Amino acid sequence: MPPVTIDVQGVVKRFGQVEVLRGIDLTVAAGELVALLGPSGSGKTSLLRIIGGLEQADRGVVRFDGQDAAARPVGARGVGFVFQHYALFRHMTVARNIAFGLEVQPRARRPDRAAIRETVARLLALVQLDGLGHRYPGQLSGGQRQRVALARALAVAPRVLLLDEPFGALDAKVRKDLRRWLRRLHDDTGATTVFVTHDQDEAFEIADQVALMNDGRIEQIGAPQQVYDRPASAFVYDFLGHANRLSGVARDGMADFGAMRLAAPAGLSGPVLAFIRPADLVPVDGPGADRLSGTVVGLFATGLGLRCDLAVPGLAEPVAAEFVRSAGGDRRIGRGTVLHLQPAKVQFLPRPGGAADRHGAGEPVGGA
Amino acid sequence: MTKPGTHPAATTEAPAVRLALTGLALCYLGLFLALPLAVVFREALGQGTAAFVAALAAPDALAAMRLTLLVAAIAVPANLLFGLAASWLIAKFAFPGKRLLVTLIDLPFSVSPVISGLVYVLLFGAQGVLGPWLIAHDVQIVFALPGIVLATIFVTFPFVARELVPLMERQGTGDEEAALSLGAGGWQVFRRVTLPNIRWGLLYGVLLCNARAMGEFGAVSVVSGHIRGLTNTMPLHVEILYNDYNFVAAFAVASLLAGLALVTLVLKAVLEWRLGGDHGGTEP
């Protein structure tokens, strides 16, 4: 079956007094792989379950190829769902688990035994578990169970594949292997795929589009590179992590952050936030009005890089800078060293209320 | 420094204390459980196997056995169905009044069986609320099979539900959701996924339910009317024989009930071992 376009419009969901989804609009193009990324409690799993038909939206619609999906029961939506804890049927062998979706079909549509056996064998090969069909789920490792869950979902040839934290319970090495494998699998099967994760590396590595969710809303949606380079809100910056967040005041096209003065985008005045990634702070030889000068108070090796925390006069919190190690080593950096840093890329956001505000800082107003 | 392994773990008592506690527990068990059980079998066989067999083959004894089996054959399946339905409802759905239902299911445990029997007499007896109507329509409930069955069902209805509710709550709804999303219908989900997941717990509940149904005395005593050969179940028959100073026959029938208890105990141990596989969420 050809993949479908998923169209979510104005979906609202509440559990008791808690509004977990506050008006979600999301379009997933046919055959696309989309990640719902966000902290726990942001509503991403609820959204996935509503798309899959395991929950009903209180308001709003989910359409598959323009048709209201709610009109069909869960089993008739053509959705393959992979659960966070796999939900394998523990009293059935791996082969019976995979065959389940075929065996429960009405007699008229059910493939015959030979065809089912063939499908199971093909899927076992696809998920690289050949020869393990007779085992029980309890006899498999976490990564193997995850692949059985995938094979079981794929057995019914779903037009939409939904995965809830598919690699959440696995260790780092297995996760990495499996997510690349999932991407290849997606490219092979071509089903429209939505997966939920709280791991940004996972989302950014394999998704075509990343939807960042926070507090029941989608904060930003876009290609991974676009989201990373141009975060749309203070939340996205914070969530993607490691960005320095400087509070300052803008006036007449300039913004002051302690002793540093940067050119601010036109039209921005009053309290502002500036986000600068550690890697965008370039060490330079001397101080300057548009540079940060501070004393190294902390030093951390981060794999290939070196991260320095600097105490900068006039700024409340230390500023983090990161360089490739050889460059840092050449400069003989240690605690107490004074460094001068030139911001290579700055993103400004208005600072509502003047105080440090974690959410809803509004639209970005351009970079410097 | 002590060598590793020689130092006792923090939760281990001194050997003397352990020995004393274990001994105390064994003495207690021996005095209150093993000894009476031994007496039952000794008295039953005290005058030889011939007397034992004769006591069991007496027409009234056979009638009591038939009645007991018949009552259990009706009450246990009824409570199996009720227990399944109630636990399914409680464990898989949220609805107002759920806590109340859970409390109600436990009611027979907190009410004296004699009271439960009395309630049926007050409801269905000749002087009872529904008595005149029942008499007018020639329906006999109290002092007949229906009354005994009703009293037995009442007393035994928590067993299956109490075993299944916690089990199903622990297992959650993940497996059922997976089955639904794969296109299974409600009945298919129940038969292929839910039922296999709870089968050992269900058997365990049925076993306890059956043991109680066959052994129930108080509630049945009130509603039965003690008509020999007609409304006497095995426990009631034991009492009558005992009151007649017919000790060999009384203990012979009692030994059957004791035997049932022993078989139940063994099956229970086996089921508890199998039940280990049912517990622990969606992953084995």
Kindly report, residue by residue over B15-55, the tens digit of the pLDDT. 888 899 999 999 999 998 889 888 888 888 888 888 889 88
Cβ–Cβ below 8 Å for A100 and B182: yes
Closest Cα partner for A273 from A167, A365, A160? A365
Residue partners of B112: CB distance under 8 A and separation at least 6: B218
Check whether A326 has a pLDDT greater than 80. no
* Position with higher pLDDT, A308 vs A98: A98
Cβ–Cβ pairs < 8 A, chains A and B = 77
Over residues B114-121, mean pLDDT: 88
Q: Please write the tens of the pLDDT for every residue from A265-293.
A: 877 888 888 888 888 888 888 888 888 88
| pLDDT tens digits for range A341-352 | 999 888 888 887
Ranking A39-43, B122-126, B254-258 by mean pLDDT, the lowest is B122-126
- Cα-based torsion angle of the residue sequence B159, B160, B161, B164 in order, rounded to the nearest 10 degrees: 120
Confirm or reject contact between B281 and chain A (CB < 8 A): yes
Separation of alpha carbons B86 and A108, rounded Å: 34
| pLDDT (mean) for A330-336 | 72
- pLDDT of B186 reads 87
Chain B: nearest CA to A165, how far in angstroms?
A: 14
Average pLDDT over residues B175-192: 91
pLDDT digits (tens, 9 = 90+) for A38-73: 998 899 999 999 999 999 999 999 999 988 988 888
Interface ipTM > 0.85: no
- What's the pTM value of the predicted model, to 2 decimals? 0.77
Return the H-helix or E-strand segment holding A118.
helix A113-126
Given a cut of 80, is residue A364 above it in pLDDT? Answer: no
> pLDDT tens, A212-244?
999 999 999 999 999 888 888 888 888 887 788
Cα–Cα distance for residue pair B233/B213, rounded to 1 Å: 10
> How far apart, in whole angstroms, are the C-alpha atoms of residue A161 and residue A28?
12
A 150-179 near B (Cβ less than 8 A): 152-153, 155-156
CB contact under 8 A, B181 and A53: yes
In the predicted model, is pLDDT for residue A26 greater than 90? Answer: yes
Helix B48-57 to helix B59-92 angle, to the nearest 10 degrees?
70
| Dihedral sign (CA A348, A354, A359, A363) | negative
% helix / strand / coil in chain B, to the nearest 5? 75, 0, 25
Decide: residue A190, CB within 10 A, 0-12 exposed, 13-18 middle, 19+ buried. Answer: middle
Instruction: Say whether pLDDT at A304 is over 80.
Output: no
Q: Tell me what pLDDT residue A368 has.
A: 41
Q: Per-residue confidence at A1, pLDDT binned at 50, 70, 90? A: low
Asked if B198 and B274 count as a contact pair (C-beta separation under 8 A), the reply is no
pLDDT for the residue numbered A359 = 40
pLDDT for B129-148, tens place per residue? 888 888 888 888 888 889 99
Q: Give pLDDT, residue A357.
A: 39
Q: How many residues does chain B have?
A: 284
> How does the average pLDDT of chain B come out, rounded?
86
Say if residue A329's pLDDT is above 70. Answer: no
Which residues, 6 or more positions from A238, have their beta carbon under 8 angstroms from its beta carbon?
A: A245, A358
Q: How close, in Å, is residue A233 to chain B by CA atoms? A: 35
Please, which residues have CB within 8 angstroms of residue B123's CB and are 6 or more apart in sequence?
B129, B130
Q: Do B193 and A89 touch (CB under 8 A)?
A: yes
Distance between CA atoms of B75 and B72, rounded to whole angstroms?
Answer: 5
Question: Per residue in B264-273, pLDDT tens?
Answer: 888 888 888 8
* CB nearest to B188's CB, from A52, A104, A156: A104
Quote the CA–CA distance of A218 and A212 in Å, as a whole number: 6
Residues A172-183, mean pLDDT to the nearest whole number: 85
> Among A317-331, B85-99, B193-207, B237-251, where is mean pLDDT lowest?
A317-331
**Average pLDDT of every residue of chain A:** 86
Which pLDDT score is estimated for B282? 36
pLDDT band, very low/low/confident/very high, at B278 (cuts 50, 70, 90): low
What percent of chain B has pLDDT above 90?
30
What pLDDT is recorded for position B153? 93
Mutate to test the interface with B, among A102, A104, A136, A159 (most CBs of B within 10 A): A104
